[in-house]
Amino acid sequence: MCRALLYLGKPVLLDNLLFQPDSALVRQSYMPKMLHMLNLAGFGMRAWDPATPDPERPYSYYSQSLPVFDRNLKGLAEKIRAGCVLAHVRGVAYSTRVEISLQNVHPFHFAGVPLVLAHNGDLARFAEMKPLLARHVKPEFAAQVHGTTDSEWVYALVVSQLPDPHRRPTREELTGAIRDALAIVREARAQLGIAVSSSLNLFVADGHQLAAVRYCFDFGCYATEDAARLHEANLAYLSLWYTLGRDYALHGDEWKMTGGIEQADSVLIASEPLTRDTAAWVEVPEYAMLHAEILNGRPAVSMHYLD
């Protein structure tokens, strides 16, 4: 399975998210504390800096190499501060049929669309589902799908449900589009008689707001004749955590935010807590979507429960 993080708030050095903490995103790729699977299929990131000349256009970085050995990424991370970040380390099942390429590295971002998306999980029998999902994808976005992943089609499906994909959506429009996309996938699975556990943790950002989804279709259904071949990702609901605070940095010998919810100006969401001290981290409930935006200098966080 993959690893991802979202950050929104006061600009923070990317190094403090990707490399430095005890369980920083890059460290999770080779030394995870939850869901022990190595992530060896590439790294991608979009990061928005409000101080740049074009703040609505994010930094973009994609590589199919291992991020722990990526000197270019490390060098940039030590220099760039961003107020909104979506970063993703791709993990795939070990198979000669899996395509390792830049086109399949998350997050996905179509031309002229503010929204970007990354995915942790997989859709069982996706090849059979694709024709059913394609009916609900606008042709301009279907034409921009260049990779082979189910994740990119999920992105195309979400943006196609927005009233106007080319402008930044409201909270209601974004959460509604995600709900509609989940319903379309659910209906396609029902038509094909698919009843196998399929995780769909989503990470979404547009520079001003975040959405994180912790979801799994038919959790607990493991269709296999050989228990030894049961993928370990299906043995536990894929994790998703968040924390609120201010001044995210190294305080003493602990990476953390300070001030608690009462003084928060930032929100951080990740597949697993980035810090050794996990007391300030809260697990996103199963079948839930967390939405966050900054209002009057404070993170406004809402939880939306899903069918």
In SS3 terms, 198-262 reads as: EEEEEEEECCCEEEEEECEECCCCCCCCCHHHCCHHHHCCCCCEEEEEEEEEEECCEEEEECCHH
Domain count, the chain: 1
Stronger pLDDT, 233 or 24, i.e. the higher one? 24
For 298-306, the CB contacts below 8 A with 24+ separation are 298/264, 298/265, 299/8, 299/9, 299/244, 299/264, 299/265, 299/266, 299/267, 301/242, 301/244, 301/267, 302/171, 304/175, 304/179, 306/179, 306/182, 306/213, 306/215
pLDDT for position 257: 87
Stronger pLDDT, 100 or 104, i.e. the higher one? 104
CA–CA gap between residue 66 and residue 215 (Å, rounded) = 27
Reported as a single tens digit per residue, the pLDDT across 235-272 is: 567 899 999 999 988 888 888 888 888 889 999 999 99
Does the model's pTM come out above 0.85? yes
- Kindly report the number of other CB atoms within 10 A of residue 123's CB atom: 25
Average pLDDT over residues 270-280: 87
* Average pLDDT, rounded, for the chain: 89
Whether the per-residue pLDDT at 98 is higher than 60: the answer is no
Q: Are 177 and 169 in contact (CB under 8 A)?
A: yes
pLDDT for position 96: 44
Reported as a single tens digit per residue, the pLDDT across 40-97 is: 568 999 999 988 889 999 999 998 878 888 899 999 999 999 999 999 997 655 444 5
pLDDT for position 94: 46
Whether the per-residue pLDDT at 282 is higher than 80: the answer is yes
pLDDT tier at 229, thresholds 50, 70, 90 = low
CA–CA gap between residue 68 and residue 232 (Å, rounded) = 24
Stronger pLDDT, 191 or 237, i.e. the higher one? 191
**CATH code of the domain in which 120 resides:** 3.60.20.10
Residue 245 belongs to domain spanning: 3-305
Whether the per-residue pLDDT at 34 is higher than 90: the answer is no
